[in-house]
Structure 1
Amino acid sequence: MERNIHPILASYIPVVEGLAKTFGSHCEIVLHDLTDITSSIIAIHNGHISGREIGSPVTNRALKALRTAKISKENYDLNYRNDTIKGKQIKSSSIYIKDEHGQVIGSLCINIDMTHLAIAQSVLSDILAISDKRESDKTEESFPPTVSDLMEQMVADCLQRTGKPIALMQKEEKIQFIHELDEMGLFLIKGAVQHVADLLDVTKFTIYNYLDKK
């Protein structure tokens, strides 16, 4: 079935190609449709930088921004550093796209591979400048090729911070685990509740009950 793309987002598709041709093969340009987070990428050029393609899902950083409504207050997230794409040094910016009612419907993302430029860092210091981020905003962004990979990565990240395997968790720890996943935006993904329920060996209704416990 052909995808129904908002006209405002559709107007950005040639912009993606134009920017990619302007900045060259070391710059990945991505257009996300944030109304469908499971296959949000509707246009991408130089996808070899992150290994993604049209139909790949939204990133965990964007999910958290959606969950916390951060992008409804800000129009962009500029010059943040990514060292998580296949060991490359990446400088990223995300510009949020809103509809005629002011609702966020998409984002235009720029990922510059600075790996080779870093050799000449002293000369290109202005290009390589990375803005300081608040201590509370330390989410490392991952670029999964599929929704399943995205969910598994988010669960793994949460487990790493928790420091305890699921099999050893007590009830209160499971509740805290569920709330942390919710804050990360995991449950915005269709099927995520069932996925976590299977991991915890409980029902979906138990997950919803845990979410209700503040």
Structure 2
Amino acid sequence: MTSPIHAHIPVADAIARLFFPHVEVVLHDLDTGQIAHIANGYSKRRPGDASLNDDGISAEGEADIIGPYAKRNWDGRRLKSITAVLRDTDGKAIGLFCINQDIETFAALGDQLKALTTLPDPAPAASPLMAGDWRETINGVIGDYLSERNTALAGLASGDIDDLLLRLEARGIFEIRNAVPYVAEILRLSRATIYNRLAAARSRRQPSGETA
């Protein structure tokens, strides 16, 4: 049986096409806990991926419109996002219609587009509904690291990457199932390389005379 979420796919595709390449639209199926559709996907997520976490998600008690709220993409770019809760004829929440706008390019245009890109200061975090997304946690750690150094992923030296891996490890990221492949894809490293570089970085940080 076709999910009622699929009826919203043309709307998602239309929005993504109109605002291409700056807007990504993601449809979450609350019944399966998976991404049902993604239009103009630039967040390295795919249909069939878990929506937020392995425990599933629920929109019960949420307002029909959530946001706008601030997010980070995997490459540190700032996103302005908004979510609509999709309901059936009985009012039961069946899905989430999420629009993610990449505002980095617009911000560079200056004051002319300021009204379009400005977020409240400090920008509100995502609602508790979105708080369990481990990908968003990883994106935030990487984004903060890049912001501190005023650089992009492509500008990181080898030592910077090792330092970033140690920071991710300190945050417990690599204890999350499927986190290592996700980080590997972002950094364009193999999983084996990540483990090897982490081991070497730990060794360099360990005071001389101590053993692991």
SS in 1 for 2:69: strand
Which residue among 72, 82, 91 is the counterpart of 1:83? 72
Contact 2:87 2:94 in 1 (8 A): yes
The reply on whether 1:127 has 2:116 as its aligned counterpart is yes
SS in 2 for 1:52: coil
The reply on whether 1:46 has 2:37 as its aligned counterpart is no
The reply on whether 1:108 has 2:97 as its aligned counterpart is yes
Contact 1:33 1:41 in 2 (8 A): yes
Change (3 A) 1:42 1:139: closer
Matches of 2:81 and 2:96, distance apart in 1 = 12
What stretches of structure 2 of length at least 5 have no aligned partner? Answer: 137-167, 176-212
SS in 2 for 1:125: helix
Which residue among 27, 31, 37 is the counterpart of 1:35? 31
SS in 2 for 1:20: helix
Matches of 1:99 and 1:15, distance apart in 2 = 17
SS in 1 for 2:97: strand
Matches of 2:134 and 2:78, distance apart in 1 = 13
Which residue among 56, 60, 63 is the counterpart of 2:49? 56
RCO higher in structure (CA 8 A, sep ≥6): 1
Q: CA deviation at 1:14?
A: 0.8
Matches of 2:95 and 2:127, distance apart in 1 = 24
Q: Which position in structure 1 is the counterpart of 2:3?
A: 6
| Matched-pair identity in % | 26
Matches of 1:107 and 1:59, distance apart in 2 = 11
What stretches of structure 1 of length at least 5 have no aligned partner? Answer: 145-156, 167-214
Matches of 1:5 and 1:56, distance apart in 2 = 18
Contact 2:66 2:127 in 1 (8 A): no
Q: CA deviation at 1:119?
A: 1.2
TM-score normalised to structure 1 length:
0.54
Letter matched to residue 89 of structure 2: E
Q: CA deviation at 1:54?
A: 1.1
Change (3 A) 1:17 1:136: closer
Q: CA deviation at 1:139?
A: 4.2
Change (3 A) 1:134 1:16: closer
How well do the aligned residues superpose, as a CA RMSD in angstroms? 3.3
Change (3 A) 1:140 1:10: closer
Q: CA deviation at 1:125?
A: 1.1
TM-score normalised to structure 2 length:
0.55
Q: Which position in structure 1 is the counterpart of 2:82?
A: 93
Contact 1:84 1:142 in 2 (8 A): no
SS in 2 for 1:70: coil
- Deviation per residue, 1:167-200 (Å, 9 max, x gap): xxxxxxxxxxxxxxxxxxxxxxxxxxxxxxxxxx
Q: CA deviation at 1:98?
A: 0.6
Which residue among 70, 73, 79 is the counterpart of 2:61? 70
Q: CA deviation at 1:35?
A: 0.7
Change (3 A) 1:124 1:54: same
